[in-house]
Structure 1
Amino acid sequence: MNNILLIPSTLWRKAHAYSQKLWVRVLAMGFLSILSLGLTQLVELFVPEPIMSRVSGEAADRLLDIISSAMLSVTIFSMTVMVSVYRSSASQWTPRVHRLIMRDSRTQKTLAAFIGTYVYALVAIILREMGVFGDDHALVLFWLTVAVLAFVVWSLVRWMLHLQTFGSLLHTTRQVEGITKERFQERLRTPCLGANPLTGDVPEDAQPIKADQSGYIQHIYPEGLNAVAERYDVLLYLPREIGSFVFLHEPLGWLVGDVKDEDRDEFLSLVRGHINVSDLRDYDQDPRFGLVVMGEIASKALSPGINDPGTAIDVITRVGRILSSYSSHDTRRDSHDDGETDSGEEGKGPKLDRLWVPPLSPDDLLDDGFGALLRDGAHLFEVQHRLQATLSGLMRHPDERLQSAAFDFAELALRRALEAMEFEPDRTRLLASVSERLHRSVTQS
């Protein structure tokens, strides 16, 4: 059973998720600090005795005292700044952006460096008091401590430069755009998570695989699920997208095939073990969540207390830039319902041929990124003008599905804006800025 949970692709995904946690980086730096002190004992064996005695133990003690006292203060200060930025960002922009800022790699690396250096100094002082590093064998310890000090200074400079923009609106929107674009490109490079595209209904003879808890589908490990399907000689259909909410005992997926009664509990456990359900959505594997967060930032900026249409316009541009790379064209060969492929077609077939996953829908993507603006910015000409200009660009996109979705969304946005705007010249200007086709569709119906 467990060998499926230990396949390399699944382990890599889980290791990547853990590497983004602060405590993992702190533990790694602490272990590296202790390891470096242990290696000094080996290096000392290759240093000639006359050279070893050139540096006294007191010189190393002074440097270690400086590090131990300074790093504690710097770490406390950095933690205070970090918590303040987390809270202000959650209240100013959106609570959903708080968890992304918590995963800021520069902040995590800096805090891990400070705490790791503090651990290094404490352990070195303890070893000095125990006589492990004698006064006549402190050369390697001294120069290692000098290197640690240089590393601390470099980390402090990076941290001060990072604090100039950390938590600001520009930095936050860039972070959300960056992670969303990265996950979006990842999904485009691996359509349907590497599985077959589920574009129709689930087969009628499919059996439901019910969820054992309520929550959002946070992660899916498709390679492991395909391995499970191969082991039991069945097909798996996952109509629910990553980020969708599933209730207890609702279908988490669908099974086509027969699983023996004595193997059913193990099979269900394996399937549920490869589909993480949690109380929160996550940015990993879920580009739609990033678009939702960007829409929330724009919506919050349009609230009466903030009244910042410029931020909404900036978000519209960023969302349009992300969606401009959309493509529904699958370079892999189309698969039949039985998992086989046409040998005469070009390209590669789906790597995970026993798994079916729905592709990204352009209608959902547009609604995620612009849905909140459609409601909260309907009465503002400058916001709707930029929105229509961005949608007009997407309507010229090479992908036909995105073209159609952008036109439908632009028509909906225009109709709502014309009803929300009270000033007639604004309505006239907005109508004049859209394409003739869209103008005709709205005014003639």
Structure 2
Amino acid sequence: MNNILLIPATLWRKARAYSQKLWVRVLVMGLLSVASLGFTQLIEMIVPDKMSSIMTGASADRLLDIIASAMLSATIFSMTVMVSTYRSSASQWTPRVHQLIMQDTVTQKTLAAFIGAYLYALVAIVLREMRVFGDDHALVIFWLTVLVLAYVVWSLVRWVLHLQTFGSLLHTTRQVEGITKQRFQERLKTPCLGANPLCDGVPDDARPIDADQSGYIQHIYPEGLNTVAERYDVRFYLPQPIGHFVFLHEPLLWFEGDVSEEDREEFLSLARGHINVNDLRDYDQDPRFGLVVMGEIASKALSPGINDPGTAIDIITRVGRILSSYSSEDQPTGAADDGEASAKDGPDGPHLDRLWVPPLMPNDLLDDGFGALTRDGAQVYEVQHRLQATLAGLMHHPDEGLQNAAFHFADTALRRALQSMNFAPDRERLLASVSERLRLRVTQT
């Protein structure tokens, strides 16, 4: 295996993915706590003996005993709250938010702080029993323990304040909206992941590289793929967007060019290695998944068992706010009609010139965010009124592709609502609230 996988951009993407895992934060905090104890030995060497003897070892022992006994209970309590919140959020809103709540930064930092402090206290007590830290040189470890205790108290206060909203509907929808908008803008600033836009399909002479497992396309490392393409003098085409489900032996990507038989096995391995296929979709490179999750929350709120149209209205507003950030200010110069800026419009062409990736399509974005609630809330006037108002706002968006997509979606949603509503005055009010252009199109066809 060569060093293609180790290019900086790929390493950064992998590091960001690992940084969102709880065990990574816990491991880092544990290593820091152990390393800090070794650092105290170095400081003790430069502290005068007269100053070191001011503090006795018994003072540090009492603090270490407090941390060791309290942190185990605090960690168990935090884990119980976390698991309870995960289960309640998955059952009340949608199971897809479980994945996002597990990546909650405050929760992960708090658990890492508690476990790290617990490990610090245990190791320090063991070293004290082994006479590594003597009673005559306990000044540094005492004050280090005070700092650890202060950090634990601060983490506990932050955790208690965070629990006031953690797992609630408002907090959950804000989380989903925040991560979706962030990933959405990242994609707009780097259209097609920095590659060429694939709008006309795969060339006829391109050959497929089949998937070696079934699952969702979760991550793509475009910089690495482009490097592989440069090495073997080929061009890669990825017709399936991130979040698409591929089956075993279904084409995962296509390449155009010649690869010798002796290099073919390594070439296929490298190409597949830069595309992660997993059993779940992920928010990281897939802003459409966040829109789907928000649509699911709204759809569940409209179910007969919950009957909460207010939540659906709130989701409509949030999805509209996300799509409204799809402005020319967030895009490089030269936005394409499909809504995502064309990589070819830059002064130097696309950054990854041997890779073709499909752009974000406005029709897909609207269907992801509004599709489910349009169907499940078709008979609710308040929901349909807010939906039509939001779509009317998107019809005035600077991007022409999004304007047209919003108009066609509003047309479909209005027709479905008019057929689903049994009360004639509701139908009349809804029809009167839309633009004249849309009203004429619906009534005359």
State the TM-score, normalizing by the size of structure 1: 0.96
Q: 1:332·1:350 contact (CA, 8 Å) conserved in 2?
A: no
Aligned to 1:238: 238
Q: In structure 1, list runs of 5 or more residues that go unmatched.
A: 335-340
Whether the 8 Å CA contact 1:179–1:283 is kept in 2: the answer is yes
User: Offset of 1:346 from its aligned partner?
Assistant: 6.1
Report the Cα offset of residue 251 of structure 1.
Answer: 0.9
Residue 153 of structure 1 aligns with which residue?
A: 153
Which residue in the other structure is 2:340 paired with?
none
For residues 274 and 178 of structure 1, the distance between their equivalents in structure 2, rounded to whole angstroms, comes to 27
Change (3 A) 1:346 1:32: closer
SS for the counterpart of 2:360 is: coil
Aligned residue in 2 for 1:62: 62
Aligned residue identity for 2:151: F
Contact 2:71–2:114, Cα closer than 8 Å, also in 1? yes
Match of 2:386 in 1: 386
CA distance in 2, matches of 1:262, 1:66: 64
- Tell me the alpha carbon deviations over residues 150-187 of structure 1, each in whole angstroms, 9 at most, x when there is no partner: 11111111000000000000000000000000000000
**One-letter amino acid of the counterpart of residue 247, structure 1:** F
Q: 1:253 to 1:332 in 2, by over 3 A?
A: farther
Cα-to-partner distance string for 1:269-327 (whole Å, 9 max, x where unaligned)? 00000001011100010000000000000011111111111100000000000001225
- Counterpart AA for 1:19: S
Q: Give 1:174's aligned residue.
A: 174
Give the structure 2 partner of residue 331 of structure 1.
333
- Deviation digits for residues 114-159 of structure 1, max 9, x if unmatched? 0000000000000000001111110101011111111111111100
- Report the Cα offset of residue 262 of structure 1: 1.1
Q: Distance in 2 between matches of 1:87 and 1:405?
A: 37
Q: Which amino acid aligns with 2:83?
A: V
| Residue aligning to 1:130 | 130
TM-score by length of 2: 0.96
1:48 is matched with which residue?
Answer: 48
SS in 1 for 2:216: strand
Matched position secondary structure for 1:2 = coil
CA distance in 1, matches of 2:385, 2:286: 29
Asked whether the equivalents of residues 30 and 119 of structure 1 are also in contact (C-alpha less than 8 Å), the reply is yes
Aligned residue runs from structure 1 range 242-391, under 5 A: 242-326=242-326, 331=333, 347-391=347-391
CA distance in 1 between counterparts of 2:388 and 2:346 reads 38
- How many pairs does the alignment contain? 437
1:200-243 per-residue CA deviation (whole Å, 9 max, x = no partner) reads 12111111111111110000000000000000101111010000
The residue number in structure 2 matching 1:78 is: 78
1:26 aligned partner: 26
* Segments of 4+ moved more than 2 angstroms: 327-334, 345-348
Tell me the SS of whatever aligns to 2:46.
coil
Partner of 1:337: none
Most deviating of 163-172 and 321-330: 321-330
Superposed displacement of residue 2, structure 1:
2.3
Equivalent position amino acid for 2:333 in 1: T
Contact 1:332 1:348 in 2 (8 A): no
Q: What is the Cα deviation at residue 349 of structure 1? A: 1.1
Contact 2:225/2:271 (CA < 8 Å) preserved in 1? yes
Query: For 2:424 and 2:367, how far apart are their aligned partners in 1?
Result: 27
| Contiguous gaps of at least 5 residues in structure 2 | 337-342
Quote the residue 1:434 is aligned against: 434
Partner of 2:397: 397
- Offset at 1:80? 0.2
Q: Which moved more, 1:46-55 or 1:323-332?
A: 323-332
1:102 is matched with: 102
User: What are the residue-to-residue correspondences of 1:87-98 with 2, within 5 Å?
Assistant: 87-98=87-98
Using the aligned pairs only, state the percent identity.
79
1:331 partner amino acid: T
Please tell me the root mean square deviation across aligned C-alpha atoms, in Å: 1.4
CA distance in 2, matches of 1:347, 1:162: 46
